[in-house]
């Protein structure tokens, strides 16, 4: 028996509906389930991670590293992956970046 192609229909919530639901939760101490049902929002869509906080280099600094590594590789001074990571770490250290361990 073949599978059904139906799939799940997801409700697309708007930003205004999400803000209204959060406002109801904070001001009237409404439960999450009641606010979700009232404003037709899903809890799955309420979290949007901001991945830029983990970015170490800006796009300009990344481009500077790439501009350095490309010609060096053409002159047969190619670095191993470990050496490239060490170079990037040293570059971040000299620029005074907040470095992870």
Domain span at residue 61?
A: 52-94
Task: Please check whether residue 83 lies inside any domain of the structure.
Answer: yes
Whole-angstrom distance, CA of residue 93 vs CA of residue 89: 6
Task: Please check whether residue 25 lies inside any domain of the structure.
Answer: yes
Same domain, 61 and 83: yes
Task: Please check whether residue 3 lies inside any domain of the structure.
Answer: no
Please name the residues in contact with 91: beta carbons below 8 A apart, sequence gap of 6 or more. Answer: 61, 65
Task: Please check whether residue 9 lies inside any domain of the structure.
Answer: no
Same domain, 57 and 77: yes
Tell whether pTM > 0.85: no
Please name the residues in contact with 36: beta carbons below 8 A apart, sequence gap of 6 or more. Answer: 21, 42, 43
Task: Please check whether residue 5 lies inside any domain of the structure.
Answer: no
Q: What would you report as the CA-atom Rg of the chain, rounded to the nearest whole angstrom?
A: 24
The 10s digit of each residue's pLDDT in 7-41 is 666 666 778 888 888 899 899 998 888 888 888 77
Same domain, 36 and 60: no
Task: Please check whether residue 2 lies inside any domain of the structure.
Answer: no
Number of domains the chain is built from: 2
Whole-angstrom distance, CA of residue 42 vs CA of residue 33: 9
Same domain, 64 and 78: yes
Task: Please check whether residue 90 lies inside any domain of the structure.
Answer: yes
Whole-angstrom distance, CA of residue 96 vs CA of residue 101: 14
Same domain, 69 and 85: yes
Same domain, 40 and 62: no
The 10s digit of each residue's pLDDT in 49-100 is 677 777 889 999 999 999 999 988 888 777 888 988 999 999 999 999 888 7
For 19, half-sphere exposure in the C-beta direction (CA atoms, 13 angstrom radius) is 3
Residues 40 and 17: beta-carbon distance below 8 Å = yes
Residue 26: which region, alpha, beta or left (left: phi > 0; alpha: psi -120 to 50)?
alpha
């Amino acid at each position: 028996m073949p599978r059904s192609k139906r799939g799940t229909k997801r409700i697309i919530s708007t930003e205004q509906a999400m803000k209204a639901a959060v406002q109801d939760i904070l001001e009237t101490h409404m439960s999450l389930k009641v606010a979700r049902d009232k404003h037709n929002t899903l809890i799955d869509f309420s979290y949007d991670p901001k991945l830029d906080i983990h970015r170490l280099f800006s796009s300009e600094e990344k481009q500077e590293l790439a501009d350095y590594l490309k010609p060096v590789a053409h002159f047969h001074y190619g670095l191993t992956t470990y050496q490239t990571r060490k170079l990037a770490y040293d570059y971040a250290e000299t620029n005074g970046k907040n470095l992870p361990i």
